[in-house]
Amino acid sequence: MNVAVLGGTGRTGRLLVEELLRRGHQVTALVRDPDRAPEHARVVIGDSRDPQALAEALVGAEAVISTLGPARKQNQLHRQTVEQLVPAMRMAGVRRYIGISGAGVDADGDCKSRRDRVISAAMGLFARSMVADKTVELATWQDTELNWTLVRPPRLMDGPATGGVEHDAHVSTRSTGMRRTDLAIFLTDVLDQEIYVRQAPFAATR
């Protein structure tokens, strides 16, 4: 599949691009800094909030995967990106989107453990703008007709892939951490297996 990747220079994004290429997908990476662009990908230079850059990145794409994460002073990165990305996807005829949200974000139908309800409440206080940004992002996708998935991992960690990922549409994971390597594999599984369409599953390294 031809996949447009947003955030391909990031810690999860680099691993995602490697995993997609390993499985035979073609990748277009939208990056801000050409010197840090991943190898073996078609590269488009630009910002994820720029409609023209998005349109260029979506030429020929069949799906979009985002591993975007805000740099400092980008409190509205996710909502500003989704506002531009949804019309760009409609224009390009791309229906599939997979992105990363966070376990601190609530969705209808959730069955969070007591531990996760406490963590979410703390994040609502200490990471208020990030949670607010990702909450608006989720609501925006829910309002579209597109086939979105927003994966909600807990704390991200580095380290080799374990291959063991627990995931569920609404029930908290037992683990409180996810390796970025496992997340990159899981995002690719979500694409390949067409699972969790129009859902925001929790996922963690087992």
Across 94-146, the runs of DSSP E, i.e. the strands, are 96-100
Which of 3, 7, 88, 148 is in the footprint of ligand NAP by CB under 6 A? 7
The H or E element that residue 151 is part of is strand 147-151
Q: Which residues of 63-84 are buried (b: 16+ CB within 10 A; e: fewer)?
A: bbbbbbbeeeebebbbbbbbbb
Which of 26, 51, 69, 146 is in the footprint of ligand NAP by CB under 6 A? 69
Cα angle value 61/158/81 (rounded, 5°):
35
Q: Should residue 68 be labelled a site residue for ligand NAP when binding is judged by CB under 6 A?
A: yes
Q: Should residue 11 be labelled a site residue for ligand NAP when binding is judged by CB under 6 A?
A: yes
Give the number of residues in contact with ligand NAP, rule: CB under 6 A. Answer: 24
Least spacing, CB of residue 154 vs ligand NAP, in Å: 6
Least spacing, CB of residue 180 vs ligand NAP, in Å: 6
In this chain, which stretch among 19-27, 65-73, 83-91, 198-206 interacts with ligand NAP, using CB under 6 A?
Answer: 65-73
Kindly identify the residues of this chain, within the stretch 113-152, that bind ligand NAP according to CB under 6 A.
none
Tokens found for residue 101: 């949200």
Residues 195 and 10: their CA atoms lie apart, in Å, by: 24
Tokens found for residue 45: 């230079």
Are the CB atoms for 202 and 179 separated by under 8 Å?
Answer: no
The tokens 């549409």 sit on which residue?
Answer: 169
Q: Should residue 39 be labelled a site residue for ligand NAP when binding is judged by CB under 6 A?
A: no
Q: Should residue 32 be labelled a site residue for ligand NAP when binding is judged by CB under 6 A?
A: yes
Contacting residues toward ligand NAP, per CB under 6 A? 7, 9-13, 32-33, 36, 47-49, 67-69, 71, 74, 77, 100, 102, 153, 155-156, 180
